[in-house]
Amino acid sequence: MPHIGVQAAVVVLLTLATAVKTETGEVTFWNKDVTIKCPNGAKVDAKDGTNPICDDKSCKFEYTREDYYKCKDTTTPYSFYIKGRVCENCFELTVNFFLVIIMADLFGSVVVMALIYKCSKKKSSVKPSKPTKATPKTGGRAPPVPSPDYESLNVHTLSSDTYSTMNTGMVNRMGKRRVLGPNIY
C-alpha cells in the first residue's frame, strides 16, 4: 500500500517534467510605436506594406491603423490583429511597472509614518509638570439661586398612577381624550 503514494508522486513529477512550453508572440505599445515579437525570432510580414525595423528578436514600426500582421519563416503560422490607441507620450502599463509603483508608495508611507512616530514621542521630564489652573469664565450671569428650572411640581397634577391623567379635565397631557367608562367619552 505505501507504494501507491510513491507512484502518484512519480506520475505528477513526470507530468510536470514533460509539460512543453509553447512559443507565444508578444505585442507592446510605446508612444506611437508598436513592437511585435514573433516566436523563434521570425520576421513580421505586414499586410499594409509598412517595413518594420527588425532585429533578431522583435520588429518595431510606427502604428498607423489596426491591421493583421503575420510571422513568416515559421513552421506554425502566427498572426496578430493589432488594434490600439497611440499618442506621443503614452506607454503601456505593465503589471510589473504597476507593482513597482505600489511598492514604492507603500515604502514611502511606512517611512513617513516612522518619522512621525519618532518625532511625536513625548519627552519625559525630570520634574512633574504643574497642573494648570482653570480660568474663570467671564460669560454671562449665573441663574438665580432658586432656579426656575428646579421649581416644585404643581400639587394638582401629581399622580402615582401609571399613565395617569389629570383629574380636572377630559384630556390628558398627551392631548388624547380620557375614557371614563365603557364606551363613554
Cα–Cα distance for residue pair 109/57, rounded to 1 Å = 40
Select the more confidently predicted residue: 153 or 63. Answer: 63
Cα–Cα distance for residue pair 62/34, rounded to 1 Å = 6
The average pLDDT across 33-56 equals: 72
Cα–Cα distance for residue pair 139/145, rounded to 1 Å = 17
- pLDDT at 31 (0 to 100): 80
Q: What is the pLDDT of residues 62-103, one digit of tens each?
A: 878 777 777 777 677 777 788 887 788 777 778 898 999 999
Query: Is the pTM value of this prediction over 0.85?
Result: no
- Per-residue CA distances from 10 to 15, 16, 19 (Å): 8, 10, 14
The average pLDDT across 120-147 equals: 66
User: Residue 109: which pLDDT band, with cuts at 50, 70 and 90?
Assistant: very high
Cα–Cα distance for residue pair 79/45, rounded to 1 Å = 9
Select the more confidently predicted residue: 9 or 182. Answer: 9
Select the more confidently predicted residue: 52 or 63. Answer: 63
Q: Give the chain's length.
A: 185
Q: What is the three-class DSSP state of 136?
A: coil
User: Residue 50: which pLDDT band, with cuts at 50, 70 and 90?
Assistant: low
Burial letters 84-104, b for 16+ CB under 10 A, else e: eebeeeeeeeeeeeeeeeeee
70, 50 contact by CB (below 8 A): no
Domain layout of the chain by residue ranges: 17-82
